[in-house]
Amino acid sequence: MVLRMPLLQIWVRVQLFLMNNIPLIIMAAGASSRMKASDYSTNLSEDQVSQSNSRAKGFIKINEKNETLIYHIIKNSIAAGIQHFYVILSEDSIEFQNYLKKIEKKLSVKIRFAFQDYYGNSKPMGTADAIYQAMNQFPVLKSSRFIVCNSDNIYSVKAIKTLKLELTYNSMIAYNSKCLDFSEEKISSFSILDIKNKFLYKIIEKPTINHIRNITEEKFVSMNIFSFFGDQVYGYLSNCEVNQDRGEKEIATAIQNMINDRNESIKVFKICEHVPDLTYKNDIELINNFLK
């Protein structure tokens, strides 16, 4: 006699499989131009200054253990139940690749490399282009769900797990600006979010300080951590227009195009917590203190 598994049990197993096998894409191919151009305090070591002038931000060693930002992202992701990673790198990243291979072995995870072509320019074409190129290099991502984030922020286990558990919608984390504890100048380098009924209504990339000050209610900020269904986001990444001011294809533009077509396409989870961010050299000291 052939025993058949009930449909509900099959559905539950499929959902658990999808939830437990979602990969994380980490964008680490940026030129780090603001980091390299920034001044620094006397509290940084010569080695930290040298790394900040030559390495991708996710590869800069921090704290007393000399661990990198990307190490902390991967460690927190493992704690959230992630085991598979795609790291987007520049072509000239051999040292970074060798380091990640050691991390892969040390932490018993799977790390694949995607490479963002600069198209002959001195800097990459932006975050939307980075994810688009990774999806082309690994076509499985076009038909699967994945989380994507920056390599220069330390995201909490809570934030990563929150996105991992959302199985129905594309989603993102919205950070309360008061809890981030950043200056208005720094907030203006991110994206401000307009949220309606738990869904993203509008995303404003790099708002002016006046725009920020004119928001009277709570301000919510994107720190570039999202969960996407590949088949839903790929076309918007492919057709993303270039921002004329910055010459980049930005994930904020692709997302705005998506929600313009379908209002409730990006579910938003509000979180109140600080996110260590590495933009300038002096941020290294702040992250060192955070991790003590």
Q: Look over the chain and give the mean of its residue pLDDT values, rounded to a whole number.
A: 92
Is the predicted pLDDT of residue 21 greater than 90, yes or no? Answer: no
Nearest to 176 by CA among 255, 266, 274: 274
HSE-CB at 66 with a 13 A cutoff on CA atoms is 5
Higher per-residue confidence, 291 vs 116: 116
Provide the domain limits for residue 267.
Answer: 9-290
Per residue in 261-289, pLDDT (tens digit) is: 999 999 999 999 999 999 999 999 899 88
Q: Residue 19's pLDDT is what? A: 54
In a domain, 19, yes or no: yes
In a domain, 4, yes or no: no
What one-character-per-residue DSSP string does 214-259 give?
Answer: T--S--EEEEEEEEEEHHHHHHHHHTPPPBTTTTB--HHHHHHHHH
In a domain, 156, yes or no: yes
Min mean pLDDT across 10-14, 27-31, 88-92, 211-215 is at 10-14
In a domain, 204, yes or no: yes
Q: Under a CB-based contact definition with an 8 Å cutoff, are residues 170 and 267 in contact?
A: yes
Residue 211 one-letter amino acid: H
Distance from C-alpha of 102 to C-alpha of 105, rounded to nearest angstrom: 5
In a domain, 1, yes or no: no
Distance from C-alpha of 198 to C-alpha of 196, rounded to nearest angstrom: 6
Name the pairing type of β-strands 61-62 and 24-27: unpaired
Is the predicted pLDDT of residue 122 greater than 60, yes or no? Answer: yes
> What CATH number is associated with residue 186?
3.90.550.10
- With a CB cutoff of 8 Å and minimum separation 6, the contacts of 158 are 271, 273
The total of structural domains in the chain comes to 1
Structure-token pair, residue 87: 């790291």
Length of the chain: 292
Per residue in 224-266, pLDDT (tens digit) is: 999 999 999 999 999 999 998 889 999 999 999 999 999 999 9
Structure-token pair, residue 161: 């797990």
Q: Residue 99's pLDDT is what? A: 97
